[in-house]
Amino acid sequence: MDGISTGFGAWNPIAWSLLFAGAAAIAWGVRRFGRRDCARGTGQTKAFLSGNEAPAPEALHARGDHLYWGMIDGLAAYYRRIRAVHTGILSDYVGWFVGVLGVVLLVLMLVR
């Protein structure tokens, strides 16, 4: 089983396929040890949360301002200024990108 040597390992499709088939066979074998009398759609299929009832799915939604509250609070002055120029129009962002790229290229030409 010669494969392609990359310097960091070897790529052999047959060996990787055999490895994947072996892992799938082991997973299937472990699954067969499961109980067949499990009733779907009942409390038996619920996740165990240390005896606590699971919250409703809509209560689990975490908005971005909750996840990043520390960063937004710490950079509040910056975000106030940046929201003033935020239009949400793609052509505005492309214009800013082209303008900043032009300035960077101009500086690079002058430095060289």
Q: Tell me, what's the pLDDT at 99?
A: 96
Q: Is the dihedral of CA 64, 66, 67, 68 positive or negative?
A: positive
Tokens at 92, concatenated? 């505005």
Q: Tell me, what's the pLDDT at 103?
A: 97
What is the Cα–Cα distance from 85 to 92, expressed in whole angstroms? 10
Q: Tell me, what's the pLDDT at 100?
A: 96
Tokens at 111, concatenated? 């430095």
Tokens at 67, concatenated? 């996840």
Q: Tell me, what's the pLDDT at 112?
A: 76
Q: Tell me, what's the pLDDT at 42?
A: 83
Sort strands 10-11 and 4-5 into parallel, antiparallel or unpaired. antiparallel
The pLDDT tens digits along the chain (112 residues) read 566 666 666 777 888 899 999 999 999 999 888 878 878 888 788 878 887 888 887 777 766 667 778 888 899 999 888 888 888 889 999 999 999 999 999 999 998 7
* Residues 2, 16, 7: CA angle, nearest 5 degrees: 55
Q: What are the structural domain ranges in the chain?
A: 63-112
